Amino acid sequence: MESKSKSADKFANVMLASVTETGASTLTFTQLPQITTLMEKKAYLISRIEYQFDSGLFVAAGDGIMFGVSMQNTFTGPNITTPSIIDFTRIVGKGAPVEVYDEIRDTDFSTLPGGGLLVPTRPMFLWAEGASIAVAQTIRMRMYFTVADLNPSEYWDLVEAMQAYA
């Protein structure tokens, strides 16, 4: 099927968000801002996601953090094979002493066919879960995307395809 979709944007948009664990090593979600309505047949074409976290909290072997973006906030054990997770990062400290500085990690989707990862615009969540860290961790995110206009058939094909994996 040849797509008639086109970008509603001439330039990339930037979405900023952060999530702080509700307690140390607790899976926590925050819903990303919604810039479209349910009636609009639009999708995000995500080209890049950058994350920032504090590696200074890693003080012992096994200290770590998992974080990413998902389309659901109902899973209880994040894993790279969790169907609703569209971006997943896991970082584990190798033991003390660990350098203290803020880390930046990024995922570049721009080399995928079509120039990025196409996902429905809602709902989307930033999530984080620490492992063996004594204090709650905060993850900050910057997502670069354009909004793609889809015809109704393309939109429902995309939604159904995402549901098949979730």
Fold of 6-165: Jelly Rolls (2.60.120)
For the chain, the average pLDDT equals 85
pTM of the predicted structure, to 2 decimals: 0.85
Q: Is the pLDDT of residue 130 over 70?
A: yes
Q: Is the pLDDT of residue 162 over 90?
A: no
What's the pLDDT at 112?
Answer: 93
- 20-57 pLDDT per residue, tens: 999 988 999 999 998 887 788 899 999 999 999 887 77
Distance CA 12, CA 46 (A): 9
Q: Which residue has the higher pLDDT, 132 or 147?
A: 147
